[in-house]
Amino acid sequence: MEVYEVFRQEREGAPMQHSGNLLAPDPELASHYAREFYGRRQESVRLWIVPRAAIRDLSDPDLLQPPLDRSFKKPVGYSADIKRKLAAARDRLGVGSAGEPEAEDPVVAAGRKGAEQA
């Protein structure tokens, strides 16, 4: 007996989603059982039936959850870092904090001018 993981598609164009798993003695019966478990109420237009043994499992924390900070690899992490740098630059230039949105931010303006000259 082998475990099969079953994915189903609810309608054409929808993503394949993991539905669950089942036990079967061989791939043919696995297909029949998948049809009964995840298709007998006409809730699927396609099923993928995958022997669990064929799935490469990757769960090593050294690969997926490395200990060093990786926040700069996330869009939100990058913007947080930029905000911190902006605040520091404002302090250096002695201008106000981010509470005055009307005026162009001097740091942004300096950057824009630099880009125009280049």
Binding site for other proteins (CB under 8 A): 1, 22-26, 28-29, 32-33, 35-37, 40
Could you write out the DSSP letters of every residue in 44-75? -SEEEEEEGGGSPP---HHHHS-SS--GGGSH
CB of 9 to other proteins, least distance (A): 19
The residue (of 31 and 90) whose beta carbon lies closer to other proteins is 31
With respect to other proteins, which residue has the nearer C-beta, 20 or 111?
A: 20
Nearer to other proteins, 42 or 59 (CB): 42
CA angle centred on 45, ends 39 and 47, rounded to 5°? 65
**Strand intervals (E) in 1-118:** 2-9, 17-24, 46-51
Contact between 42 and 8 under an 8 Å Cβ cutoff? The reply is no
- State the minimum distance, in angstroms, from the CB of residue 39 to other proteins: 10
CB of 12 to other proteins, least distance (A): 19
Name the residue nearer to other proteins (CB basis): 40 or 56: 40
